[in-house]
Structure 1
Amino acid sequence: MKRVQYDRFGGPEQMYFGNYVPPPLERTQVRVKVKAVAINPLDWKLRQGAMKLIIGRTFPKGVGSDYAGTIEAAGEDVTNVNFGDDVFGTMDFKNAGAFAGSIVVDCRYLTRKPAQLSFSEAACLPIPATTAWAAIIDKAQARSGSRIFINGCSGAVGAFAVQLALARGATVSGSCGKAAMPKARAAGVDPVFNYADSSSYRSAGKFDAIFDTAGTMSVSEGLSMLNRGGVFIDINPTPGRVVRGMLSGRYKMAFATMGTEHLPEIAQFAHEGVLRPTIGLEKPFSEALTAIANAESGFRGPGRIVLAL
């Protein structure tokens, strides 16, 4: 079968469709016939070499993290899904490679797909929804009466963060690009600010949690907008920020891996309509190389970019 992969770290020109044979199953693994995948910034950051010290230099490496499909085979210790189940999930970033006809993945990285979601919609959930869960539910502990500000509230992670916070009874303010402001208001963000004008939201009062999904706020800026006991949550840490986080209980980081264990709950929320994935563009898998390169260069549009197999 064909898989999107690369033989060295670098730009989009390193990607190609290579021949791939999934490895034999281990006891806790499943093999998934992939029906749809969604593109994440993580996909090209890994290929660029941003985490090469962690993922190593063994090539070829596969591209892609988030997928939806059907279980083709299951290891003997797998209990959460069965042969023939429709599922969605993500992959361990150390062994990425979801952009393939079939993949082998540990069963803890997936869950059953809600029946009313298409494969393409379900593929939009994993990394953005688990990241939002880690931030809003685990770190911010959103609840009735909470006042939460989401920087980048119209993006993939930001939109799910808005939905989770509102479901918990919090009041949500946020910032996004000017063109996305009407959509953010319709989603329940009030007030919503143009993030090109940071002075407008810096004067919007104090918040119980700030969630910066856009990576445009400094730590000092985020902390200055907090109530006593509030937290500034970041998904774009630098080494300096990591050190700052270790020294300050008010600065916290949120990663998708922190929320992976909640995939079944995310599936239930999607079933209930609390989480609503949005597809911005859907392309056939044969156009994967171009679609990834375009997304990497900044063409993303509203909603997720999905590749259908």
Structure 2
Amino acid sequence: MFTGLSAFPLTPVTGSGIDTTAYARLVSRLAAAGVDSIGALGSTGSYPYLTRAQRAEAAKIAVDAAAGTPVLVGIGATATSEVLALAEDAQNAGAAAVLLAPVSYQPLTDDEVFGLYEDVTRELSLPLCVYDNPRTTHFQFSDELHGRIAALPNVGSIKIPGVPADAKARVDALRARILDTVTIGISGDAVAAEGLAAGCDVWYSVLGGLFPDAARAVMRDAAESERLRPLWDLFARHGSIRVVAAAATHLGLIGERVLPRPLRELDGAARREVIDTLRQLNL
């Protein structure tokens, strides 16, 4: 399942919890659009801000609303015991795979991160995607560590951050360290076209979580990514989760206040800029 377009939707959160109706609507739109998989409870899905019960609820809603489209569920947490509990919840919800970042408070060593994945894969019956996201975890994977983790049972994909200018060399160096059965996926929408051209197998996409047709256009023609540059600039300035929340609200798919505090929605000039950019890009 770790190929093609993996679309990562928001998890709309109100003062009383997850907006289950809006969340199901977002997921069902993606299934109807024919995405290859749906990434529930990724970074755009606000997983670190939700309780275990809320995450279990979100996983079940996503699987039900996906109507057979494979759902990848984020299980990252600071304690291994909590990760294992979240993995059990994801499996019980019917997830097709799980996504795990090495979330931490104390800085982790390479051996501690390897131990996390070793402990989790030992108990796991689902495929696992390694989430390499140094911007949020502050942990830097080496290719050697990726190779060790990729050899563990049930590891099916590695979700890497944006690639440098020589993207092919980066992807080739990582691929030389991992099993042929493990795919490489690109995240960071602004550089997705470069990652795909360099040989990445899957795009783990924020854009795809709201605009799957636009994401597919980028996958067909790398020049389409440059056309979307104004949107990538907004992502860089405001954070993709805030921009996507403003866009989804403008489209009437979710309510006005949907980000878990302390996150704040865009207001005033910033929100108008998002709306103007959507109109400019015909999104």
| Structure whose alpha-carbon radius of gyration is higher | 1
Higher strand share: 1
User: TM-score under structure 2 normalisation?
Assistant: 0.31
Structure showing the higher helix proportion among its residues = 2
